[in-house]
Each structure stands twice: as C-alpha cells, then as structure tokens.
Amino acid sequence: MPLKQYYALPLPEIVSELNTDLKKGLSTQEAQVRLLHYGKNKLEQLSSISPLRIFFAQFSDFLVLLLIGASIISFFIGEKKESLVILFIVIVNGAIGFFQEYRAERSIEALRKLESPHSIVIRDGKEQEIPSEELVPGDIIKLSEGCKIPADARLTLEADFQVNESLLTGESLPVTKGLETLKENTLISERTNMVFSATIVSSGRGKAVVTATGMDTEVGAIARMVQSETKGVTPLQEKIEHLGKILGLVAIGIAIPGFILGYFQGREPFSLFLLFVSLVVSAVPEGLPIIITITLALGVQRLLKAKTLVRRLPIVEVLGGTDVICTDKTGTLTCNAMTVENIVTADYFFDIEGNGFTPQGDVFGSAFSLFEKTQVQEVEKQEENRITPLKAQQLSSLQKVLDGITLCNDATIDLGDPTERALIVASAKLDIEKVELKKQFPRIDEVPFSSDRKYMLTLHQEKDANKTVAFLKGAVEIVLEKCSSVIVGNKTVELTKQHREAIQQMNELLASQGMRVLALGYKKGTEKEFPQQQPPSEFIFAGLIGMIDPPRAEVQPAIATCRHAGIRVVMITGDHRLTAEAIGKKVGLESSNILTGDTLEAMSDAELEIAVEKTSIFARVSSEHKLRILSAFQKNKHVVAMIGDGVNDAPALKKANIGISVGSGTDLSKETSDMVLLDDNFATFEKAIKEGRVIFDNVQKFVHALLAVNLGEILLVLSSILLSVISRKAIPVILLPIHLLWINLLTDSIPAMALGLDGAVDGIMARKPRSQNTTIFSGILFKIIVTGFTFALVTFVVFSLFYPWWLPNLSDKQLLYAQTIAFCLIVFFELFYNFTTRSPRGALHAGLFTNKWLLGAVALCGSLQVLVISVPALRGLFRVTSLDLIDWGIILGSALGGVILLELVFFVVRKVQGTQY
C-alpha cells in the first residue's frame, strides 16, 4: 500500500480522513475495530533461525570433513564397521551440536522479543498507557523526551521538540520538528511535521496523530534492513574459538610428526592417518563456543526471573568483573514514590499528610516568617491549622504555588514523571483539579524540563485574553537566579540578598532530611513579554516544595553485600548535595566525601581521577559530569556499571562497561543500555552481579574439564609412539580412533552442559571482583596441565600392566583387553574429574551431590560406556572386549584414585601458596 503524504495535508484534513478527534482521541471500541483491520503495530519478524543452515554448519568444519573423508576411504579399504561407527559418531555429534545451537538461538530470540514498549495515548478523552503494539491509525499519542516513537505520526503540538532520526536518515544530529504543512514529495529527512516509528525524541514534548502503524510505517518499509542484525559473538566465545584454533594447530603440529614417526615404525599408514585425524578432531573443543552461548542464555533466563533483562549477551561476561557501580538515586536507591511533605512560602509553613500517589491527606499550616528566621516548629495538627480549599485561596502565596505546580506540570495523578505526579497529588489534596485549571489558564508556550536545565517554564493565558502568567519550577538555586522579587502575604517585595540566604537555608534544612526540593516562581505579563529565546528573569518567588522519596528497604543490605564483594557503590545524582547525603546515609553509603557538580567542573581530569577513588556521592551533576566521572573510573582501570534512567544518562550508559537502565526509565536509556532492571531496584543488580559471577565460574569449570581431558588424550596417544622410539619396542596405540571420537562425544557435551548449570560456590560474593587481567584460564591453567599429564600417566601405567609391552610374544587378545581397560578408564576418569572442577577448593568443597544435572550426566554417560562394553553387538563395533567385575573394579578404582591423587596435589599446592583457591 503506497504511503499517504500526510505531511502535505492540512491538519484538519488528516483529522477527518483518519476520523479522529485531537482532544478526545479515538474511542476504545473504535480502536479495537481498527486493530482488527490494520493488525498489530509491530514489524513482522523474519525468523533469523534456519534449522537447516544450523544443521549443515555442524559439518562444515575442515577437520570434521577430513574425518568424514577418511572414514569413507576406510570403508572402501576394508574397515567397514569402524568407518560406519565413525560416521555415526560424527553425525550424532553434529546432531547434538545442532540441538544446542538451535536451542541457544531460540532462547536468544525469545529474549529479544521480551522488550515490549508502551505508549501514552488519548482514548475516550483520557490519557492512558497501552502496549505500543495496540496503536492504530487515528490514535493521538503523547511524546516526551527520551521516548521511542511508536508509529509514524503527524505532529499536532510541539514544544522544543527534537528527534533523532539517524535510524532512518543516517543523520546523527537531532532534527527540530514543527507543525507547518509541507509541500508534496518532500524528502523523508525534511518532513519536519512528521515523526517516524522507532526514532527517538531527543528533547521536548509533543503530541501527534498516528498515520501509519506496523509494516506500513517508513521503518516497516525497510524492515528487512533493520532486522538483519548481525549475530554477535561474545568476547569469551571469540577467545575460546581462537583457543580452539590454536589447539587444532598444536594438535596438527603434534599429529604430523607423530604420523611420520609412526609410519617409520612400520605402523599401517591408513589407520595411523585415521587415528591422528580423530585425535585432532577430539582435541579441538568445537562444542565450547556453543556451550558458552547456552550457559549465557540460561543465565540470562535466570536473570530474567530475578527481574533483570539482558539486552546484549556478551555483557553477562563482564558482570562478574564489575568493581564499581555508579547509580542514580531516584527510583533505583529510593522507591520513586515521591510525596510532597512541605510547602514553604514567605509567611507560612505547610505540612501535608498522606503517602504516595493517593490524593488523600490533610494539609496543616502555621504562620511563620521565612525571612525573620523564625525557627520552624512542628506544625500543630489542630483543627484551626487545617487548610481547606477556601483558606488556601485566601493565602495568596500558597495559591500561587498550587497554581504553579499544577499548571507547570505534564503529569496526571496516575501518569508521568513521579516528581510531577507528586505535585499534582499535593494540589489535589486541596481540591485543585488540573483539568479545570488548565481550561482557565490554557498553556500557550513552554520550555520543557530537562535534567541539565533543571527547570521547567510554562506560559498561560489569563481570563483576560491580553494577559498571561508564566510559571517557573525547578531546582532552588536555578529558580532563585531568575527571581527578583518575592510574594509575602498579598504583596510583592524585592528579593534581597538576605531573602535569598533565608530561602537557601530553608532549602538546606529540607534537603538535609532527604527531601527533593523544588522552587516555584511566577510572572505576569502579556504574551509578547515571554521571549522564549531569552533566559527567563524577573520572576516572583512564591515558595519551596519539599518532597520525600524513601529509600528502598532492600538497598541497604544490597550495598553491604556489594561492599563485602569488593564492589564500590557510588551515587550520581542531579539532586541537591544534602538530599543526596541524607539518602546516602540511609542506604549505607560513605557520605563523608561528597563532590558536587561545581567542584567537579573546576577539576582537571587528573584531579578527578584521584577524587573518584574516595568519593561515594556526586551531587548536582550534569550529563557531561557523569561522562567525566565514568572516564575517570575507567582510567583507573575499574570495570564500571552505570545505572541510569534519563535522557541525560544515555551517553554515560553507553560509555560504561555495563550500561543499565530501569524499567520505568526513558526508551532512550533502555535503547542505549546493555541491561534493564525491570523493577527499577538497585538490589536486583546485586543479584545480577552474583549471577554474572556464577556464569563466569561455570564457563571456567567446563573449559577446565574439557581442556584437561583433551590434553590427556593427546598425551596418551603420543606416549605410545614416543616411548616406542625411546624404548625401541613396538608399543601399539592405546586408544583407537573410534575410542577417541566416542570419548569426545561422551565427555565434550553432556557433562559440560551440566557444569554450565551449576549453582554458586559458597562465598561467591565474599571474593573480590575478577581483575581486568583475569582470563578464563586464570587459576586453571596449572590444573589443566597437571591433570592432562596425570590422565595420560595413570592410563598408560594401567594399560602397561595389562599389556606388558616390554615382554615378547604378546597376543592380540591381550592388546584388545588392555585397550578396552584404557578406554573405559579414561572415560570414567574424565567423568569423575568434572566434580573437581566445580570449586577452586576441590570436589568436596562444592559438595558431591549438589549438582543433580552433573550426577545425571555422569550416570548417563557412565551407563552408555558400560553398554558399549556389555552388549556383544556393540563390542564388535567399538573394537572392545568384555570385562568382568574385577576389571570394572580396577577401572573405577584407578579412575577414582587418579582424581583423588589430583585433589591431593591441588590441596598441597594451595597450602604451599597459602591461597584458598
């Protein structure tokens, strides 16, 4: 369907064409009908998973192809059974790889779908929040700073409205929007009266009528382009893939001389070739990257249960290494349940009762003088002090404050910024109805609130059409700068230096109780006197509003746990120093060293780098300061997580090692972040860090297990060839190609997956964060090498006992017997060794029965091995002989003995080094 040129139509025509109403919007019923007609407002997902592609990818590896080729040749040369089994194992291996990868892709795709944005829409004459998917053409939507535009729409109202349209146009600078009707065939980048789905409001406020949804939008038209996201490989996977290549090369490097040596010893060249190809295939941990993806994806699902949405998988790897958390205050450390407690005018002090956003609570007031430094006393809550709507009208300054906080406000009781909702609730407690007031004083112009400006300004028409009144609301020092007089009683008097000081003192008094304090100013005039471009000035100060936002109960213990885990928590807030300090104290931050935006501004980068090390609270900071603070931490080699919600947090979220937004934050902050705390709660992040540590540990566990095993296999195969050279005796190979591949199949995937599901080891949050130099091999490389050698040595010794190669006249039967024992021994050795990898302090520390997945995996793989030896038909295929109970006793005893020996060695090493790990 061709897109209509809505930008070239006058607004009334669009309204009638879309059969809507700018004020009331659509009716819910009509919207439902349209939803059926137009379908959901979402882009059709082109499935990125092609099972066939994934399946064939399993066999495209060069080494696997070589193995397939070698076994086909061996089929024709004579070893028919063996080659069929090899082919079978390769296919089973491929199938396991396929299921793992398919599952990983599926869970990643499912996670992508979890982000379901919401929009504010006007329906049935009321503002409401609905899932963006339910938007239909004709809907009237409200757009605010930081929100992602949910559909294509024509603007009907805008204030300081700018949109980042880089997604569509490639232009990274924000585009200023307007309302003017444009010419036909205007380029997309110049359609300034339209907003487009998936672009982001970078500043201001707007209202628009939806013209197209879903695949009919501009972004729908290029959906294929947008959807073809490239599949990201995590840094850990990259490293592991790299390691795989190195191991492959090392194995080839060993295999070629091994083959040549073997050949000159007179061994049969083709079976030797097959042996070494199998060895190389087994040595390369080809399953590792995908097991890592699964472990990460499963971890991500666990995180989701704990209310953390991971937007970028690789970030899970960084989580465990985080050693500094920078967090904003409002909503994350506090409940975001702002409640206005006090209003202070020059002549009255008001106490407002009630909690949260329920507009119920009495208001009490007592006369006092702000400027004569009368001590603020508890307002006595007696009947004569109760402020009724009628009494409020008689108190001019209070009336101004109430009008101001209601009109200079974009929220309703139920929707919008919590600070503004709290103000509406406070005025509603004195029966002020925003809707009514707005009718009396329609807004004709505005400067929307931004965190960097720290104020909001609106201009309203008075009853007398020539008169206007402007309201200014914002941070106290900012509003005060723009005021030149103050209302006392019914009079306006000049705002002297002493007045300013008194107001500041009151501000500090309220702030030191943990309150967020706003000031309100107003100014009367004519419309012409409100030049938006010029900085506002000459306002009349009306009063201060103090609101509390209690800290969340869970935050204090969470901060304590972080500290215990060697993670510093730092608060970065736009709020006043004293407000930040009071909240900081309550949640257990070291509040002795606070840095404010002004001081920070005067510091050089080098000074800041020193300062950040001892500062726990940064107050009154701007977005630029946030970036500098982050850079300073990163310069000092910290891994920094940043939690933020606003538009002004976005650059810092991008810069941080982990950017975290919150569920109630702006779409922009969510878009730029790596993770979203769905419940806005800091304590949730502490859990995420723990989960991150568990995931890293688990990856380390199976990397440890797999590499140790692979090394053992290489050494074992080589040992017979090398010892033959040294001893000048013909020592047959201990493991056959088929055995190597079977061991690879049994031990590479199932137990590794079980280790990936392991729980946290004791004291995981009592250890310091991983340093940046730590790699996945830190602490395990030594163990891998020792274990590899022990595996090979123990198996070789046991093999030699059953097949004393130094003696003459040994039979093939004896060899088959010894090979069978060695084959089983290495399988059980490996299965048992998985338990050792579970804790740096050994198997017993982790508990032998605490991972039921691993117990299951070991039981399954062990049974399969017993099956191969016990079923006569399989025995033939796998070239093994039957074993009796004594043999099994020797196998299990040696495997267990080998693992216990290793545990003892590691124990002694820990003791000698004096480390716990």
Active site positions, annotated: 328
* Minimum separation from the CB atom of position 313 to ligand ATP (A): 28
Region binding ligand ATP by CB under 6 A among candidate stretches 16-24, 172-180, 446-454, 539-547: 446-454
Do 15 and 21 contact (CB within 8 A), yes or no?
A: yes
Residues 351-390 that bind ligand ATP (CB under 6 A): none
Phi/psi for 245 (5° steps) reads -65, -45
* Minimum separation from the CB atom of position 459 to ligand ATP (A): 15
* Minimum separation from the CB atom of position 332 to ligand ATP (A): 7
For position 575 contacting ligand ATP by CB under 6 A, the verdict is yes
Nearer to ligand ATP, 136 or 483 (CB): 483
* Minimum separation from the CB atom of position 331 to ligand ATP (A): 6
Nearer to ligand ATP, 597 or 732 (CB): 597
Q: Which of 258, 90, 166 is nearest to 714 (CA)?
A: 258
* Minimum separation from the CB atom of position 629 to ligand ATP (A): 12
Nearer to ligand ATP, 25 or 418 (CB): 418
For position 307 contacting ligand ATP by CB under 6 A, the verdict is no
Nearer to ligand ATP, 327 or 800 (CB): 327
Q: Which residues partner with 162 through β-bridges?
A: 176, 203
Nearer to ligand ATP, 9 or 411 (CB): 411
For position 474 contacting ligand ATP by CB under 6 A, the verdict is yes
Neighbours of 533 (CB within 10 A): 4
Of the residues 297, 340, 456, 506, which one makes contact with ligand ATP according to CB under 6 A = 456
DSSP assigned state of 387:
P
The whole-angstrom distance between residue 395's C-alpha and the CA centroid of its chain comes to 50
* Residue of minimal Cβ distance to ligand ATP: 574
Of the residues 307, 460, 473, 704, which one makes contact with ligand ATP according to CB under 6 A = 473
Q: Would you state the structure tokens that stand for residue 773, as one six-digit string?
A: 């130099």
Q: Would you state the structure tokens that stand for residue 786, as one six-digit string?
A: 């020792």
**Single-letter residue type at 17:** E
Do 568 and 590 contact (CB within 8 A), yes or no?
A: no
Of the residues 573, 661, 669, 698, which one makes contact with ligand ATP according to CB under 6 A = 573
* Minimum separation from the CB atom of position 411 to ligand ATP (A): 8
Q: Would you state the structure tokens that stand for residue 730, as one six-digit string?
A: 């013909």
For position 420 contacting ligand ATP by CB under 6 A, the verdict is yes
Nearer to ligand ATP, 216 or 575 (CB): 575
* Minimum separation from the CB atom of position 96 to ligand ATP (A): 48
Region binding ligand ATP by CB under 6 A among candidate stretches 342-350, 395-403, 447-455, 898-906: 447-455
* Minimum separation from the CB atom of position 145 to ligand ATP (A): 11
Of the residues 38, 449, 633, 829, which one makes contact with ligand ATP according to CB under 6 A = 449
Residues 323-352 that bind ligand ATP (CB under 6 A): 328-330
* Minimum separation from the CB atom of position 592 to ligand ATP (A): 20
Q: Within 13 A of 142's CA, how many CA atoms are on the CB side?
A: 18
Q: Which of 656, 661, 659, 631 is nearest to 646 (CA)?
A: 661
Neighbours of 887 (CB within 10 A): 17
* Minimum separation from the CB atom of position 127 to ligand ATP (A): 17
Do 572 and 328 contact (CB within 8 A), yes or no?
A: yes
DSSP structure string for 426-466: HHHTTT--HHHHHHHS-EEEEE---TTT-EEEEEEE-SSTT
Tokens 């232009």 belong to: 171
* Minimum separation from the CB atom of position 336 to ligand ATP (A): 9
For position 682 contacting ligand ATP by CB under 6 A, the verdict is no
Do 176 and 42 contact (CB within 8 A), yes or no?
A: no
Q: Which residues partner with 363 through β-bridges?
A: 352
DSSP structure string for 564-633: HTT-EEEEE-SS-HHHHHHHHHHHT---S-EEEHHHHHHS-HHHHHHHGGG--EEES--HHHHHHHHHHH
Phi/psi for 353 (5° steps) reads -90, 170
Nearer to ligand ATP, 510 or 891 (CB): 510
Nearer to ligand ATP, 456 or 683 (CB): 456
- Please tell me whether residue 717 adopts helix, strand or coil conformation: helix
Instruction: Report the alpha-carbon distance of residue 626 to residue 328 in Å, rounded.
Output: 10
Q: Would you state the structure tokens that stand for residue 560, as one six-digit string?
A: 């304590």
Do 343 and 401 contact (CB within 8 A), yes or no?
A: yes
Per-residue mark of binding to ligand ATP, 620-659 (x: CB under 6 A): --------------------------x-------------
* Minimum separation from the CB atom of position 605 to ligand ATP (A): 22
From the DSSP assignment, how many helices (H) and strands (E) are in the chain?
34, 25
- Please tell me whether residue 293 adopts helix, strand or coil conformation: helix
H or E stretch at 469: strand 467-475
**Count of residues of this chain found to bind ligand ATP when the rule CB under 6 A is applied:** 21
Residues 691-750 that bind ligand ATP (CB under 6 A): none
Nearer to ligand ATP, 475 or 542 (CB): 475
Do 398 and 350 contact (CB within 8 A), yes or no?
A: yes
Nearer to ligand ATP, 454 or 841 (CB): 454
Of the residues 216, 317, 417, 581, which one makes contact with ligand ATP according to CB under 6 A = 417
Of the residues 181, 265, 451, 484, which one makes contact with ligand ATP according to CB under 6 A = 451
The contacts of residue 869 (CB under 8 Å, 6+ apart) are 820, 824, 875, 880, 882, 883
Of the residues 310, 343, 475, 736, which one makes contact with ligand ATP according to CB under 6 A = 475
Instruction: Report the alpha-carbon distance of residue 621 to residue 632 in Å, rounded.
Output: 15
Nearer to ligand ATP, 27 or 451 (CB): 451
Of the residues 574, 692, 712, 756, which one makes contact with ligand ATP according to CB under 6 A = 574
* Minimum separation from the CB atom of position 150 to ligand ATP (A): 23
**Single-letter residue type at 19:** N
For position 146 contacting ligand ATP by CB under 6 A, the verdict is no
Nearer to ligand ATP, 90 or 643 (CB): 643
Do 583 and 550 contact (CB within 8 A), yes or no?
A: no
Of the residues 142, 148, 421, 454, which one makes contact with ligand ATP according to CB under 6 A = 454
Region binding ligand ATP by CB under 6 A among candidate stretches 255-263, 413-421, 555-563, 654-662: 413-421
Of the residues 518, 582, 717, 740, which one makes contact with ligand ATP according to CB under 6 A = 518
Q: Which of 895, 763, 789 is nearest to 835 (CA)?
A: 895
- Please tell me whether residue 389 adopts helix, strand or coil conformation: helix
For position 516 contacting ligand ATP by CB under 6 A, the verdict is yes
Do 188 and 218 contact (CB within 8 A), yes or no?
A: yes
The contacts of residue 76 (CB under 8 Å, 6+ apart) are none
Q: Which of 618, 633, 644, 584 is nearest to 772 (CA)?
A: 633
Residues composing the chain: 917
Nearer to ligand ATP, 147 or 821 (CB): 147
Neighbours of 46 (CB within 10 A): 9
- Residue numbers at the binding site for ligand ATP (CB under 6 A): 328-330, 417, 419-420, 449, 451, 454-456, 473-475, 516, 518, 573-576, 646
